[in-house]
Amino acid sequence: MKLTVQDLNSHYGPAHILFDIGFEVGEGEVVALLGRNGAGKSTTFRSIVGLVAQRSGRIMFEGKDVSARPTHEIVRDGLGYVPEERRIFTDLTVEENLEVGRQPKRPNAPHWTREKLFALFPNLGEMKNRPGGRMSGGEQQMLTIARTLMGNPSLVLLDEPSEGLSPKIVEQMVDAILTMKKEGVSIVVSEQNLHFARLISDRAYIIERGRICFGGTMAELDARPDIRDAHLSL
Amino acid sequence: MAFYVVQFLTGLASAASLFLVASGLSIIFGVTRIVNFAHGAFYMIGAYIAFTLTERLSGACGFWGAIVIAAFAVALIGVIVEMVLLRRIYHAPELFQLLATFGLTLMVEDLVVLIWGPDDLVGRRAPGFKGAIDFFGQNIPSYDLFLIVLSPVVLGILWLLFQRTRWGVLVRAATQDRDMVAALGVNQKWLFTSVFAVGVFLAALGGALQIPRDAVHHAMDLRIIVEVFVVVVIGGLGSIVGAFVAAVLVSELNAFGILIFPKISIILVFLVMAVVLIVRPWGLFGKPEAAARKTPGLTVNPWRPLTSNERLAALAALVIAATLPLFAGNYVLTVGSEIAIFVIFAVSLHFLMSVGGLASFGHAAYFGLGAYGVAFLAKIAGLPMIVCLLLGPLLGCMGAAVFGFFAVQLSGVYFAMLTLAFAQIVWSIAFQWVSVTGGDNGILGVWPSSWAASPGHFYWLALGVAALVTVALRAMVFSPFGYALRATRDSPLRSEAVGINAKRIQWTAFVIAGTTAGIGGALFAYLKGSVFPDNLGISLSVDALVMVLLGGVETVSGAVIGAIVYKALNIWLVSQTDLSKLVLGGFIVLIVVVFPKGIVGTLEMLAQRRRKTSPPGSPLLAKPIESVE
């Protein structure tokens, strides 16, 4: 398994947010983490990369337990994270944003260069020197993904990549994610949008109020409309 | 005409060191969000080490080598400080960071005297720049010309460093979003350490380059840090270009201010700063900041009024304290009066910083103004004591009204820096305006009337006023005004949204706190029989902060306990050692790192833990208030 999460519990101050979260991601797989607003998708991702201080449980990445390690070490091991809020460095240009994400080549992961990323996201190539603060939401979404790919990750946590984007940009996003998959990057993508998830994912988990309540292939999920209707707003 | 050109060039040359130190402070603040109070101390160490090295190493190479080596050596000291101390307090509230770095400053002041002695040291002239250039009959030292060229060169180098290197890109990214930089695989620890090293290097270089112009002495740290705070407030914290422009501006204002107001040249700088703050509160080149962490402590537990038992206990303590003159001697009574006065001072600051969330680093200004108010009335107008005591604090009130108006336009570290700068300005006026204030000699012979002249009577007076003030301020905490003030502290946006005029409430609190401090100062003048500029100095402001911190920032009664314990300890310490600043500084650092909740806070925490075994109240009420903005 590329990534195994077991018994993950997280707290923000006094509030218990995640309850015994567990899921797996295979080599080269695209797995969707589905759930409504506030279900705990982003907290799950933030906990995996160590951005939530109060967390417990086992997080095995490429066979090593990373749950006690600082964020930058987890990321340097090849576990990339794309935050939902995008968090572009608004004062930095596109190229400088990419530079922040740059990490050395990794033997077990595809190697991304600026040129390759500009081919994947042609819009970015046309605005290399534009400050991040003066880009549209869609362009920022592409930049945040490209920035994480500069770290040559073998697995990427993609937090709600389709959120707030126009249908045309969402299409581009689907293509980009499929290209990443083809290159061999494992992906966990959190989504509220089932249609988007279906276009890219092999399997899906559903999270509701901090608990995993379904796990299976997309076909299995389609066979259970009751679960889909109970936990996902369409 | 030539004279003015020379004056202008002198100003430009002075700007060089100011720019180096201010840019270092700005760079460090940008990434670590710490306003490094100890920056002046690093500047001073740079000057001292460079002095020693330039004396030892000969020749031109020796001189310039010494300057550079000194800067690197101090940068190394900075790295150690960062790794040992600052790494522990990056997530602490701003107030604690400011205090911890101030504690360092105090320690350094005593250390340099220990190592280099208390006398001013006059350094070597720079080889190759010993002469002066004749400019239409006026002399311009050639070293000044060197400094004038140096600052834009440093500005250019810094610009290249930040725009053209990976390190610079990472630093700029971290300035905006530290966590995201970590989430891209960058080790923040080393980034912070390297940034701190660069900032300290610049400060030390500024100090080292100063030795051919000025004598090296052990008070140069505070002088530069106040000017640097003024520079970054004007230029905008975090902006290097802003630091450059503002350093030039402030230096020129100083250079020409001397011609216009020879005695109080600093007024001109103050006026410009006031205008900038009104027009652009975040500085000429700064960016408006989102509402920062505002609560003074780590967590603020909701407060409750005292229970009737606790009231009885407080009353009993007061009665016991009042029996002191029945058995104690004159020395103890004088110490007791001083402690009572400092209780007044500490509760006034506590009101401002714990209730209002406005941590003032210059609260002594209003204490001292109260003292000077009394001295003016008693000595110049010849009014009786009771009138002076009632009217004297009004000077503190007026000072607080003027400075407070500007100060509450800002928050957090800007507020702290500005209040410190204001206090230093008041101090400079008291120090320089000899014809009115007596300057360093102070105003002597402010003695109480016969009814309060005996130490016992004076003690009762001080104790009575302290009790009244404490009760009044406490009652205010639980009044509608107190609720509104606490609302602006905990959530500025939400309190505005329910119709509270935050700025006016904070200004009112500032004036109340300033007036109360003035009452303490008025009594202090009569206790000592004299008034000196030190009564409004920085060290007194910091004493008050430490008292509140020692008692517990988050408690309502901590200030009283803190003042008593601290003042008693301080009086004892000064009688025991010459190195009181070293001990005090170490003590401050220790509280911040080990007991951030103070005496009363720690006791409350222990009591709460014990209570946890019994059925708890509403669990949500005891939880930290997290800022949601």
On whether any CB of chain B is under 8 Å from the CB of A54, the answer is no
To the nearest whole angstrom, how far is the Cα of A206 from the nearest Cα of chain B? 25
If you average pLDDT over residues B218-224, what whole number do you get?
Answer: 87
| Cβ–Cβ < 8 Å for B82, B196 | yes
To the nearest whole angstrom, how far is the Cα of B422 from the nearest Cα of chain A? 33
> Could you tell me which chain A residue has the CA closest to the CA of B179?
A51
Three-class SS of residue A56?
strand
Tell me how far apart the alpha carbons of residues B24 and B626 are, in angstroms, rounded to a whole number.
31
Mean pLDDT rounded to a whole number for chain B: 86
pLDDT for the residue numbered B625 = 33
Question: Which residue reads 């109080």 in tokens?
Answer: B264
To the nearest whole angstrom, how far is the Cα of A50 from the nearest Cα of chain B? 9
If you average pLDDT over residues B218-241, what whole number do you get?
Answer: 88
pLDDT tens-digit readout, B310-320: 888 889 999 99
On whether any CB of chain B is under 8 Å from the CB of A16, the answer is no
What's the complex ipTM?
Answer: 0.92
On whether any CB of chain B is under 8 Å from the CB of A128, the answer is no
Report chain B residues whose CB lies below 8 A from the CB of A96.
169, 172-173
Report chain B residues whose CB lies below 8 A from the CB of A71.
179, 182-183
Half-sphere exposure for A168 (CA within 13 Å, toward CB): 3
pLDDT tens-digit readout, A145-185: 999 999 999 999 999 998 888 999 999 999 999 999 999 99
- ∠ CA A96-A100-A101 to the nearest 5 degrees? 120
When scoring A100, A103, A145, A157 by the number of chain B Cβ atoms within 10 A, the one with the most, hence best to mutate, is: A100
To the nearest whole angstrom, how far is the Cα of B261 from the nearest Cα of chain A? 42
Q: What is the DSSP letter of B597?
A: T
| The CATH fold of domain B322-579 | ABC transporter involved in vitamin B12 uptake, BtuC (1.10.3470)
Report chain A residues whose CB lies below 8 A from the CB of B187.
72
Question: Which residue reads 């939902």 in tokens?
Answer: A84
B169 to A92: CB separation less than 8 angstroms, yes or no: yes
Give the CA-trace dihedral at B519, B525, B527, B533, to 10 degrees: 120
If you average pLDDT over residues B4-13, what whole number do you get?
Answer: 90
Give the one of A76, A90, A91 whose C-beta lies nearest to B185's C-beta.
Answer: A76
pLDDT tens-digit readout, B613-622: 543 333 333 3
Computed over its alpha carbons, how large is the radius of gyration of chain A?
A: 17
For the purposes of burial, counting CB atoms within 10 Å of the CB of A215, is it exposed (0-12), middle (13-18) or buried (19 or more)?
A: middle
pLDDT for the residue numbered A234 = 55
pLDDT for the residue numbered B309 = 85
pLDDT tens-digit readout, B406-438: 888 887 778 888 888 888 888 888 888 888 888
In chain B, where the domains are located:
2-217, 322-579
Q: With cut-offs at 50, 70 and 90, classify the pLDDT of residue B490.
A: confident
| Cβ–Cβ < 8 Å for A17, A40 | yes
Q: Which helix (H) or strand (E) holds B613?
A: none
Question: Which residue reads 């794309």 in tokens?
Answer: A82
On whether any CB of chain B is under 8 Å from the CB of A49, the answer is yes
Report chain A residues whose CB lies below 8 A from the CB of B186.
72, 100
> Could you tell me which chain B residue has the CA closest to the CA of A85?
B180
Indicate whether B58 pLDDT > 90. Answer: no
A100 to B184: CB separation less than 8 angstroms, yes or no: yes
pLDDT tens-digit readout, A83-126: 998 899 999 999 999 999 999 999 889 999 999 999 999 999 99
Higher pLDDT, B227 or B509: B509
Model pTM score: 0.86
pLDDT tens-digit readout, A12-49: 888 899 999 999 999 999 999 999 888 999 999 999 99
pLDDT for the residue numbered B576 = 82
| Cβ–Cβ < 8 Å for A138, A163 | no
Tell me how far apart the alpha carbons of residues B154 and B22 are, in angstroms, rounded to a whole number.
12
| Cβ–Cβ < 8 Å for B512, B438 | no
Q: Which of residues 67-106 of A touch B (CB under 8 A)?
A: 70-72, 75-76, 81, 83, 87, 89-92, 96-97, 99-103
Q: With cut-offs at 50, 70 and 90, classify the pLDDT of residue B302.
A: low
Give the one of B175, B182, B624 whose C-beta lies nearest to A71's C-beta.
Answer: B182
pLDDT for the residue numbered B616 = 37
If you average pLDDT over residues B125-151, what whole number do you get?
Answer: 86
pLDDT for the residue numbered B611 = 66
